[in-house]
Structure 1
Amino acid sequence: MIEDVDAGNVTAGTKSNSGGVNLYQNKAIVLIPTPSPDPKDPLNLPAWHKYLMIFLVGVYSAFAVLGTSGLGAVYPEVMKMYKPEEAIRATDLMTYPTLFMGLGNLFSMPLSVAIGRRPVFLASLVLLLASSIWCACSGNNLSSHIGGRNIFSMAAGQSEALAPLIVEEIHFLHERSAKLSWFVGVQTVGTAVMFIATTALVPVWGLKWWYGIIAIVTGVLLILSVLFMVETKYDRPVDADGGLVQLKFDEQGNLDSEGKQNFLYQVTTKQTHVLQPEIFGPRTWRYDLRVFHFKPDWKATVVFYKETLQCLIIPNVFWLLCLNGAFLGLYVYQASTFAQLLMPPPHLFTSMELGYVQLVQIADCMILIPVLGYGADFLVKSMSRWRDGIFKPEYRLLPIAFPAICAIISAVLYGRGAQDLLSWHWMTIVGPYHLGYFAFIGCNVISIAYCIDSFPRKAGPLLLVVCAGRGFISFGLSYSTVPAIKSLGYDGAMNILAIISGVLLAVLVPAYLTGQYFRNLFAKKVFKEESSVH
């Protein structure tokens, strides 16, 4: 609700001279960014609608991930479709998707700024549907299959950057990690369940119907998204990111930048937020069903690419990019090889048993949600209270040590188990595989929350740097791992990844200590802002 607040008495939400933002006011959490009285503000969506949107982007991401990495569980079956001389080239079905997911982000994220999130998301579903049908009809033509999967992966790329951006834009600072974890949870459970279906379906029905099911589900998601995936891009005052907004109204009560009446507007968790459709207009079904809500701003795409390059040189962001790329590269390679290691002697896993192995990722999800979702938000709020209510984005970095340690353990054990199958138990393959997945997902959730909290106005470019950039890094790592294994063995190659992960983990300490300095430096010198919002 709009409340005339005494500016002299209000500190919550305003920037502190320590580079943070006050998250608490009278023992209540300040809603950051400040929700507008406008019913069309996506922050004002009812809880059921927000959870439905999380479900939609989560299921979309689940089938996007399934389509790009699901062949690892049935790779021996896939190889039967092609001639022996095509075996080496067939590995492109597994390695190229991460590269093309990154390329998809390079095109889609600037478009989402120019024309809005909704049309880009709907277009991605249409492309995903078309490319699924393409792959289903490719038959034994390897070139056609690779081409269809590359296009599929470009459409699936929005699961990495656009999907979490949508989730972020409908939630507040103090709940971002938890809601991002719900998104990842839906994605993980969906992918794990479909992996089991994949191991049962492909040997009997073939890849044609596997892609066919993906196409059917994508078609249903497209219909539901047309109805419920509303536009989340919203133009709000800059000071909303600090939790205290100055609104101006004319004498008739209309919002007016040149108005005579000034209001300091703040909302906390203990206030009743009142909407004002009489001033801003109501949210209607007709409004929600519109595909385009903004006049295309093509110049914004140029600015977007410029800001992406600027974000790339922020030390903490570049570090998180390397961390995400290393962990994704580790997981992609493990996902590509675990079936080849477990199916032959001495372990002799069946396709169905590989599906049950994949089901354990649901356990990853059950750990991820409370520990790295609610746990991270709880840590942020606790540290903010401890520091006199002041929140700093660097608080988000501390939990990243846990997934980093998991990545190191995963790489070392997987290398040992893969190098000497006779001496090591099959759990030395399965356990590290899931640990590597947990490391990547955990690092992903923390990185997204930190980047958005650091520069809320640069969320799109930051997500492009971290989410698209990691795809290129992981492609290079996973693609070079094959020749590395031939020369160094599984243990040698995995040791290199473990060393890389360990070095990146050591950077956590300087990243935490220098984060505020670099945020303020880049805000003033590069982005030409007064200071970092937080």
Structure 2
Amino acid sequence: MDKSDISHFEIAQDPPPRQNGIHVELFKDGEVVLIPTPSADSRDPLNLPAWRKWILLILVSAYSCTAVVLASGMGSIFSVVEASYPGQEAKANDLMTYPTLFMGIGNLISMPLAFTIGRRPVFLASMLLLIAAAVWCQCSTSLNSHIAGRNIMSLAAGQSEALSPMIVQEIHFLHERGRKIAWFIFIQNIASGGFFVVSTYMVSAWGWRWWYGFFSVMNAVILLLSIVFVTESQYERTEAAMRGEALSTKTIENEAPDAAVEYEPRCWKDDLKPMIIKPRWHEIPTFYKHILQGLFIPTTLWLLLLNGANLGTYVIEASTFSSVLMAPPYNFSFNALGYVQAGQIVDCLVFLPLLGYGSDLVIRELSRRNNGLYKPEYRLPVIAIPAIVGVICGIMYGQAAQNPERWSVASIVIGYNASYFAFLGANIVGITYAVDSFPFRAAPFLVVICAGRGFISFGLSYATLPAVNTLGYAKTMIVEEVICAAFALFAIPMFFIGPRIRAYVERWCGTEKSV
């Protein structure tokens, strides 16, 4: 960011009042405060020019897109893949269910490394592994080999859930994170929706093996561009800077003012280095300790359960919609299934303005009403619309799948895509609320949410066929949506007690202090 850009904002000089946890001053004298405070270092990722930030955002979104399509987007082509393994149809279901489990495991492995050696090397290594595993799946000679290849691929794809949004939020300020994360999800899912449509045609023309081959080539291109443009986003900041307070000798004991420090200019030679962070291997146990602590914090535990329930519901519908639509009375053709998932493009067109820009507008308005002070709980009201839509349409999906002759095909299509919209809502609230609530524990607490929801959704989705066979689609979806509704309603008490929880957690494990 140029100095001329910074001049448009007023940076707080005195610490704002701090009560019941993190309350930071988002407005001062009618102007937005930059949180975190950018340093004078040109290598500070917050000081990247706007065009570099956009390219970086697009590249991590592109990686996340291909990761999502490869790991979770097999629904529209699953019938063809399943037909390749006659007599093993039940086992072939593992191709759909196990990826969510291994995406969670991938987060548990990669995020401590990203915390220790930096985001860039882990991101680039994930891209390499994603390419190699896709080639493995393409060349697999048995169902077991195919399942193993997808599991390894999902380890690499898991970083799209925690590492990618972390990179995005680390190069942007608090007041713009909502819409930037929304742009990340928007680009990811608009592209995914397009690939869902063409996947059926790709498989019809080339076979499912070259479906993997196409994404291997695409990811190779993304990797080459990422080597050049995905710079390191990790940057050491003081506690005062994380609160948006200007650096001074008053706020940082025994440290010279930032303006007095001489920094080397940013150069491409440094940006192209695979790793610029000095490894801190001794901090890996601390990272896992913070993950464990996150499981016992009501805020992160609630976000984990909220995300897991919504993702599990979506995976259940993703695993069943093709068989429902291809059977009488709907009789969908194989190629038409891709257009069903294209409804996710509509989700994104609604999602970006409503949950992205809308979230940032809500926090600005509520902060103004609170004398300029921002609270992370101001992120929570936006969960209401996707939660209501998801519950109603999810129940509708179950009724239509149970009694297709009495329901329009639109009930399946809308219900399926509405569940995805509900997950997007839970996802953006989970990411932004966790990061804003615990900025110094953002990495481990995102692992709690992203890895944990993978385990929960795996358990829910793995039990799909037994549940449907026992309860039927209608009762199964009612149970799932009641769980989703219950966790969504927790947003109401969390809005009021969230600050007290943060104050208690700070006394317990020092979440407002840098490691």
- Does the TM-score normalized on the shorter chain lie above 0.5? yes
Residue in 2 aligned with 1:402? Answer: 385
Structure 2 letter corresponding to 1:23: L
Q: Give the match's secondary structure for 1:38.
A: coil
Indicate which of 451, 465, 468 corresponds to 1:468.
451
CA–CA separation in structure 2 for the residues paired with 1:10 and 1:45? 21
Equivalent position of 2:221 in the other structure:
220
SS in 1 for 2:74: helix
C-alpha offsets along residues 317-348 of structure 1, whole Å, 9 cap, x if unaligned?
Answer: 11111010000001111111111111121111
Give the paired residue count. 504
Q: Write the distance in 2 (CA, Å) between the matches of 1:528 and 1:407.
A: 33
Q: Deviations over 1:365-390 (max 9, x none)?
A: 11111000000000000000011101
Partner of 1:444 in structure 2? 427
Q: Distance in 2 between matches of 1:286 and 1:138?
A: 40
CA gap 1:10/1:142 in 2 versus in 1, 3 angstroms: closer
Partners in 2 of 1:199 and 1:469 — Cα distance? 31
Aligned AA (1:70): G
| Change over 3 Å in CA distance of 1:15–1:166 after alignment to 2 | farther
Structure 2 residue identity aligned to 1:209:
W
Q: Does 1:509 align with 2:498?
A: no
Q: Residue 283 of structure 2 aligns with which residue? A: 300
User: 1:352: how far off?
Assistant: 2.2
What is the rounded CA distance, in whole Å, between the counterparts of 2:429 and 2:331 in structure 1?
38
Q: Which residue of 2 aligns with 1:269?
A: none
Unmatched 5+ stretches in structure 2: 5-10
Q: Give the TM-score taking structure 2 as reference length.
A: 0.94
Q: Identify which of 66, 71, 74 aligns with 1:71.
A: 74
2:63 match: 60
Deviations 1:299-323 (A, max 9, x none): 1111000011111111121111101
Give the Cα separation in 2 of the matches to 1:516 and 1:68.
37
After superposition, the Cα gap between the structure-2 partners of 1:13 and 1:229, relative to the gap in structure 1 and judged at 3 Å, is: farther
CA distance in 2, matches of 1:313, 1:492: 32
Aligned partner of 2:98 in structure 1 is: 96
Q: How far, CA to CA, are the matches of 2:158 and 2:331 in structure 1?
A: 34
Give the AA of the match of 2:132. Answer: A
Q: Tell me if the contact between 2:438 and 2:512 (Cα under 8 Å) persists in the aligned partners.
A: no
Q: Is the 8 A contact 1:13 1:24 kept in 2?
A: no
Change (3 A) 1:307 1:18: closer
Does the alignment pair 1:177 with 2:160? no
User: CA offsets per residue over residues 188-217 of structure 1, 9 Å max, x none?
Assistant: 011111111111011221111100001001
Q: Distance in 2 between matches of 1:135 and 1:199?
A: 18
**Is 1:430 the counterpart of 2:433 in the alignment?**
no
Question: Is the Cα–Cα contact under 8 Å of residues 15 and 242 in structure 1 kept in the other structure?
Answer: no
Q: State the one-letter code of the partner of 1:420.
A: N
1:237-252 aligned within 5 A = 237-247=238-248
- The answer on whether the counterparts of 1:339 and 1:354 sit within 8 Å (CA) in structure 2 is yes
CA distance in 1: counterparts of 2:389 and 2:310, whole angstroms: 10
Contact 2:13 2:246 in 1 (8 A): no
SS in 2 for 1:161: helix
Aligned mates of 1:10, 1:237 — CA distance in 2: 15
Distance, in Å, in 2 between the alignment partners of 1:283 and 1:505 is: 44
State the Cα deviation string for residues 47-72 of structure 1 (Å, max 9, x = none). Answer: 11111111101111111010012211
Q: 2:20 touches 2:500 (CA, 8 Å); kept in 1?
A: no
- Provide the residue aligned with 1:48 in structure 2: 51
> For 1:431 and 1:13, how far apart are their aligned partners in 2?
49
Percent of pairs with identical residues: 46
- Structure-2 separation of matches of 1:410 and 1:81: 33
User: C-alpha separation between the residues in 2 aligned to 1:13 and 1:91?
Assistant: 55
**Secondary structure of 2:247 counterpart:** strand
TM-score (norm 1): 0.91
Change (3 A) 1:257 1:226: farther
What one-letter code is carried by the residue in structure 2 that aligns with 1:525? W
| Alignment check: 8 A CA contact 1:12 1:243 kept | no
- Conserved? CA contact 2:440–2:512, under 8 Å: no
Matched, 1:478 2:461: yes
How far did 1:114 drift?
Answer: 0.8
Mapped partners of 1:231, 1:365: distance in 2: 28
1:490 corresponds to: 473
Tell me how far apart the structure 2 counterparts of residues 455 and 280 of structure 1 sit (CA, whole Å). Answer: 29
Residues 461-515 of structure 1, C-alpha deviations (whole Å, 9 max, x = no match): 1110011100000001111122111111000110100111121122122111110
Q: Hey, what's the Cα distance between the residues in 1 that align with 2:511 and 2:465? A: 45
